[in-house]
Structure 1
Amino acid sequence: MSRELPSAASVWGKLWGVSVGPGDSEWLTLKGLQILQAADVVACPQNRDGEPGMAYGIVKSHLRPEQTILPLDLPFVRDPVQLQQAWTAAGETLVTRLAQGQDVVFITEGDASLYSTFSYVAQTVHHLAPTVDITTVPGVCSPLAAMAALNRPLSLGGEKIAILPALYDVSELTHALEWSEVVVLMKVASVFGQVWQTLHDLELLEQASLVEWVGSSQEKQYPSLVDLADYTPPYFSILIVRRHDYRF
């Protein structure tokens, strides 16, 4: 059941979506750092134990002791009903804070405009409190960070890019490779074996790379997939295929 929300506020706080990058705390932009440190409340997705999650871990060294940390239950599930319930509950929690005149920063891994939960929560806040000022601060997204780690460009010239956020049917990969020169697979761990076989059949293993935990102390890079036939990557892995490989 939805909680009772304030009907109006004399002075609403502002909601910021601050991108914190995929792992390295030094990838936070100067703009993001300024807004983060000035906020009254820092909201973030919580982990399975109900504690502040990965985004908090990236920026915690930048936070002030007196700031309120607000973990939100935003589960990694596909069920649309469960997701909508989570977004609604999170939005209501933020609106309660905003109605008290508190500025709230929602921190999100990667970039807040690329497959981020922030977009859904911000949409909910706008629906509940249309006058709240909502601003997104861009940051480093994982595809760019992964290619920087490999010391390669993501795209050049007229190359087209396809980004697949989650692969549930390998035919989506073959279709993307028909019209694009670069394909990014954001969540590949659960289907890595099928992807490897598809790329093997297309003779593209040498042109495919894998980066795990980019920007963190656990980062690993695999410039080629040739020797990874029986490998199982962790959840936070990203795979990039470049039909026309470019290395320096």
Structure 2
Amino acid sequence: MTGKLYGLGVGPGDSELLTVKALRLVKESDVVAVPGAVAEESVAYKIVKGVYQELDEKNLIPIPMPMTKDPAVLEENHQKAADTIEELLKQGKQVAFLTLGDPTVYSTYLYVHKRILERGYEVEIVSGIPSFCAVAATLNMGLVEMAEPLHVIPATYNADTMDEVLKLPGTKVLMKTGRKMKAVRESILRSGQDAVMIEDCGMPSEKIYKSAEEIPEQSGYYSLIIVKEKK
């Protein structure tokens, strides 16, 4: 009998936002897969560790996921990750794969999920709180109201066309802005719209920027911007 893979969303950073279901599945699973070269250094690991001290007693498997856009390198690592998970499933192991935020939103887990699914194994996604929802809640603001549309945009891939992106109606959520922060900030200022940003939402290193002018030209990987049209 083969095992089952669970893709668990662990939320954006605050350990208390980990769902009861995700925590239960971590405890029940034979193996906990953690994205990164060293499991204990992963943000996802630290989130779960915050409410489950016994996590170190589990069989922790690091899953290297390099930060690159090189298709060949990405494909190689995704295949290796799927191969590692498949070997565990063949042994009848239940595997919990930790992933930041929600597994369905720009998650590295999805690349493994699709490959394991294609190979005929049982898989299940368990939702987590998305970072943009947590950011809005931290700032005591809503994302959209009435008929307003919501656009979730990977800013690193759209920095060169950000002036056009920001013309979209409604609220724009700019994710993964880190490496292109200077260009993104300049586009926001040109647009004349309101913007707020949180870096490392829910983590001890959390920083809040309440206007476009306050947003720095450089920031960490876990930075998220919410842009709204002026009322």
Residue 115 of structure 2 corresponds to 124
Residue 15 of structure 2 corresponds to 25
Q: How far, CA to CA, are the matches of 2:85 and 2:190 in structure 1?
A: 49
Matches of residues 104-115 of structure 1 in structure 2 within 5 Å?
104-115=95-106
1:15–1:69 distance in 2 versus 1, CA, 3 Å? same
Deviation by residue 1:94-116 (Cα, 9 ceiling, x = unmatched): 11111111100001001011011
Residue 209 of structure 2 corresponds to 222
Q: Is 1:144 the counterpart of 2:139 in the alignment?
A: no
Q: Is 1:188 the counterpart of 2:177 in the alignment?
A: yes
Q: How far, CA to CA, are the matches of 2:150 and 2:161 in structure 1?
A: 14
Q: Supply the AA of the counterpart residue of 2:205.
A: Q
Q: Is the 8 A contact 2:196 2:225 kept in 1?
A: yes
Residue 186 of structure 2 corresponds to 197
Q: How far, CA to CA, are the matches of 1:52 and 1:218 in structure 2?
A: 15
CA displacement at 1:169 relative to structure 2: 4.4
Larger-Rg structure: 1
Structure 1 window deviating more from structure 2 (51-60 vs 106-115): it is 51-60
1:97–1:52 distance in 2 versus 1, CA, 3 Å? farther
What runs of 5+ residues in structure 2 fail to find an aligned partner? Answer: none
Q: How far, CA to CA, are the matches of 2:14 and 2:73 in structure 1?
A: 31
Q: How far, CA to CA, are the matches of 1:38 and 1:163 in structure 2?
A: 33
1:64–1:162 distance in 2 versus 1, CA, 3 Å? closer
Q: Is 1:77 the counterpart of 2:68 in the alignment?
A: yes
Q: How far, CA to CA, are the matches of 2:32 and 2:39 in structure 1?
A: 15
Q: Is 1:233 the counterpart of 2:207 in the alignment?
A: no
Q: Is the 8 A contact 1:162 1:176 kept in 2?
A: no
Q: How far, CA to CA, are the matches of 2:221 and 2:157 in structure 1?
A: 15
Equivalent residue of 1:98, what SS?
Answer: helix
Q: How far, CA to CA, are the matches of 1:166 and 1:227 in structure 2?
A: 18
> How many residues are aligned here?
229
Higher helix fraction (1 or 2): 2
Deviation by residue 1:121-167 (Cα, 9 ceiling, x = unmatched): 01111233x0x210000011111111111110111111111111133
Residue 39 of structure 1 corresponds to 29
What runs of 5+ residues in structure 1 fail to find an aligned partner? Answer: 1-10
Deviation by residue 1:217-241 (Cα, 9 ceiling, x = unmatched): 111111112244x642222111110
1:45–1:237 distance in 2 versus 1, CA, 3 Å? same
1:119–1:168 distance in 2 versus 1, CA, 3 Å? closer
TM-score, structure 1 as length reference: 0.86
TM-score, structure 2 as length reference: 0.92
